[in-house]
Each structure stands twice: as C-alpha cells, then as structure tokens.
Amino acid sequence: MCPKPSEDHRAAAEQRQGQLTKPPGSLGALELLAVRLAALQATERPSGQRAPIILFAGDHGITAQGVSAYPSDVTVQMLHNFANGGAAVSVLARELNVPLAVVDVGTLGEADIAGVTSDKPRHSTRDFSRDAAMTDAELAFAFDAGKRAVERATVAGADLVILGEMGIGNTTSAAAIAAALLACRAQDVVGAGTGLDNDGIRHKAQVIDAGLSLHGLDRGEVSPVEVLRCVGGFEIAALAGAMIAAAQRRIPVLVDGFIVTAAALAACRINPDCAPWLIYSHRSAERGHRLVLDALAAEPILDLKLRLGEGSGAGLALPVLRLACALHNQMATFEEASVSGPVP
C-alpha cells in the first residue's frame, strides 16, 4: 500500500492558484504541477529544492544478440565517468546543486569504483532470448536494492527523488517489458536506442518478439513480476522497487526517459497506488516512449528530443518544477497587489 496525496492540500493549492495575479490557467501546466506537488508533499508551499538523483546501472545478456550500437563495456566505463564528474548527469547535478548517487545493481564490473555503491545480485542479466534474465532471488535482490538506495538518498529528507539509469542494451529490455505489459508487438515500442539503423531496429524487434514468445509473455494477462524476471534488467527492477519505496514514504518521483518509464509501468502494475507519486519529466525521442506514456496517462513536462538517459531529462525538468513552485509560493494575490479581477 502507498499513502494517498492530500486532497485538502490540493484544494487549498487550487484555491491559491485562482487568487494569484494572472488570468486563471494562464501558467498552464506549471499551475497543475504546483498543485500536484502541494497535494503530494501535503503542504501549502511545495518545493523541488532537495531533489537527490539516484542512477541505477546494470548490464544485459541480451546484448549478445547485437541489439545495441555500443558494446557492454560502455556501462562500466560510464560508471567511472559519473564518478569523475564528466557525464551529462554529473554536470546537471552540479548545476542543480543536488547530490548524485550512482548504484551498480548488476554491471559486468568486477572491481569496486570509488563514488559508486555496489549492491548487485549478479554480474549482468542472462540473455533473455535463451533463458530468463534473472532468478526470483536475483529479482527480489535488485528490487530491494532500489528500496535501499531510496532510504540512503532521503535520510536527510527530500522534496522528491530523480531516478535515472545506465545500461547498454536496456532499451531492448524496456521495450520487451512494454510490449508484454501493453500486449502489443515489439515493433510498436522498439526504437533506435543508442543509435541503431532501420535494419538494426527490425532485428531488435525480432529478438524481443522471440524472447516474449519463449517466456510465454506474448499472450496478454501477464504477471508484471514475471515480466521483470524474464526480460527485465537489474537497474529496471531496482527502479521499480525505488518508485514503490518512494511512494510508500510520501516522496514524489521525477521519472526520466523511456527505460525509467518502462520501470514505472511495471511498478504501477505491481502496485497501482504508486501511480500518483510519479511525475514524468519528458517525452524521449525513443520511438516507443509515447505509447508507454499514453498507457500511463502521463503528460511529461518537456519534449526536447532527448534520448540520453542517466536521469538527464529529469534533471533538465527540475528547474521548471522548481520555478512552478516559486511562482505558486511567491506571487501576489489580486487582493495583496490591489489588482482588479475579471469583469463581472
């Protein structure tokens, strides 16, 4: 069970929005965002100041089938880049003045990396075109690793958490999860990922359809836990666990791109009560993202043709969210500013 947003605070925030010196609705989605955050944070003054980023990384056995434009080595190489402050999300975290926690929940890396938390059930998932990606125990471990990361990142309090991921091959896993849960063909949700050409995308779709058929996940009415176990990734399972853990702690989540949204779809199927706590940062350029967002009735904040991952889209949406709060909290009312309301 997850708690429900505060309807009293939502009503108070809606009323305040109606009194601020602007025509009603003129700040569009920013008004809805501030009202929604007020309800989630159960406060009259919503905030996005304390917004730790948690980035989960894992490797994928399915890369053996030639489904990514990059080799699996890049996942661990990027962990070093995150730790050294040179990745896109590292720059955003510095500029936004938020902490970045990087958690290795299943990369191929053998050695510990300074600045990266290692909490992994196994090095890489299995190739889901041959075997289930993980065992029940490995799935449970990764799911709980997500929960542990939320606990660590929010001990000092958090207004929300930003969730991101890194894992070569994970758009294949995310598309497989989406196709299984939305009961559609892989071709409806598959995309270029890090940069496949059209032939590569067709091959990727065939690999996914064959995997779904092998695991009996192409027949609708599938268990979301079984979908995660058979075709998921450790970072995707950790993301789903983190979302449910955050919702249980009344902490809103800023959801990043295609992969984090696929994790959100799984989390919402596992525990529908977590849905109100998930805020979608952007519409990714990855082709399947629109369909998954629509299935979640999600209206993302930005649409900037991003397709990087790492939590970078969510980082870019954070200033909009912070400014929506500042406007809500600081604008004068018609009465305070002695401004006339609409013509009666």
Interaction partner, residue 257 (ligand NCN, ligand DMD, none; CB < 5-8 Å by kind): ligand NCN
Q: Which of 166, 196, 230, 240 binds ligand DMD (CB under 6 A)?
A: 166
Give the amino acid at 44.
Answer: E
Which tokens hold the place of 172?
């294949």
Task: Pick the catalytic residue from 7, 31, 310, 336.
Answer: 310
Q: Does 257 bind ligand NCN (CB under 6 A)?
A: yes
Which tokens hold the place of 205?
């779709």
8 Å CB contact between 307 and 257: yes
- Judged by CB under 6 A, the chain residues 72 through 91 that form the site for ligand DMD are 74, 78
**How distant, in Å, are the alpha carbons of 56, 125, 267, 287 from that of 59?**
11, 6, 20, 22
DSSP code per residue over 286-325: STTHHHHHHHTT---SB-S-----TTHHHHHHHHHHHHHH
Interaction partner, residue 120 (ligand NCN, ligand DMD, none; CB < 5-8 Å by kind): none
Question: Does residue 7 have an active-site annotation?
Answer: no
Segment contacting ligand DMD (CB under 6 A): 47-55, 214-222, 246-254, 304-312? Answer: 304-312
Which residue carries 């990745």 as its tokens? 87
Q: Does 62 bind ligand NCN (CB under 6 A)?
A: no
Residues contacting residue 328 through CB under 8 Å, at least 6 positions apart: 13, 16, 17, 20, 31, 34, 35, 38, 45, 46
Segment contacting ligand DMD (CB under 6 A): 2-10, 125-133, 302-310, 332-340? Answer: 302-310
Q: What x-and-dash track marks residues 258-297 binding ligand DMD by CB under 6 A? A: ----------------------------------------
Q: Does 81 bind ligand NCN (CB under 6 A)?
A: no
Residues contacting residue 309 through CB under 8 Å, at least 6 positions apart: 164, 165, 166, 170, 256, 257, 258, 259, 260
Chain residues that interact with ligand DMD, rule: CB under 6 A: 70, 74, 78, 166, 194, 308-310
Footprint on this chain of ligand NCN (rule: CB under 6 A): 68-70, 165-172, 193-194, 256-259, 284, 286, 307-310
